[in-house]
Each structure stands twice: as C-alpha cells, then as structure tokens.
Amino acid sequence: MTNETQTKKTLEILFGDDQFGDASTRYCFKNDYQSALKERVPSVQFNWTLTEGYEETIREVQTGKYNVVVSDLNYTNRGEEGYDVIAKASNVQPKPLVILCTASDSKDLRAKAVGTDYIATANEKYFHKFDGLIEILAKHFKGEAK
C-alpha cells in the first residue's frame, strides 16, 4: 500500500443501473468517468460495485457495507424500482448517501421529498448521469481525508 493510498478516505459505492448490462456503458464508466472523478476528488479512493438489476441492487444495499448508493429510478417496464432501493437503504445502518438517477421532473420532486440527492438528466446541464454523479460526489466529499 502506498503512502498516498494510506492518506485517502475510502468510500464503498454501490451503483445500480440496468445500463450496466451494456459493455460500452461499463467501459465508459470505468475509464472516462472514474478518471474524471479522481481528478475532481483526489483525496478520496472510490471502490465501486456495479449492479444491473434492482433485486441485485437491493441485496447489495442490505449488506450495509456501502457509504454511497446510486440507483437508477427505472430498471424495468414496471418503473420506479429505485424507490424500493431507497426504502431498503433507509433501513441500513449506518445510512448511506443515496443518489437517485431519473429523467423526469415529477420523479425529481418525489426524490427530494425523501431526502435523496438526485440526478435529472432530461432537464439539467448533464450530458449523462455520470456527469451529475461526479458533481454530487465532489460536493459531498471534496477535500475529505482519512
């Protein structure tokens, strides 16, 4: 372990999104966006667990090992499974920071009501939800040290 690694705070992040079933999305996330996040928040080491389905995401949330949970709102045609993820995360101790990804205004208001950060890609400045995720994580963890 290097001295640099020893001085960084390590965050365990769970990111649930049905788009991770696509290899190009995983590649983009692991290369472009993780590098950009490291530049914005160099004092934090981020360990990622990526899940594709909401059942898998809920199982992981319930382990209680994550500091941050990022969830897509809609995993299937049923829609709004992300609220199930939020509900499960609210029962875990210590409670993780929860970030909901959505593209709809009405959903954004509901996410605010449950005290969750959210990324609304359809009507905000973000090209992709990963851009919004970088901004939120930088806001919460910039300058944090071990």
Q: Where are the domains of the chain?
A: 3-141
| DSSP bridge partners of 69 | 14, 98
> Phi and psi at residue 34, in whole multiples of 5°?
-65, -35
The contacts of residue 3 (CB under 8 Å, 6+ apart) are none
Q: Which tokens in the block code for residue 36?
A: 């950009």
Global pTM?
A: 0.80
Taking a C-beta distance cutoff of 8 angstroms, is the pair 66, 60 a contact? yes
- Which residue(s) pair with 24 in the sheet? none
Q: Which residue has the higher pLDDT, 105 or 129?
A: 129
CATH of the domain spanning 3-141: 3.40.50.2300
Which of 66-70, 78-82, 97-101, 118-122 is modeled with the greatest confidence? Answer: 66-70
Which has the higher per-residue pLDDT, 115 or 132? 132
> Is a pLDDT exceeding 80 seen at residue 120?
no
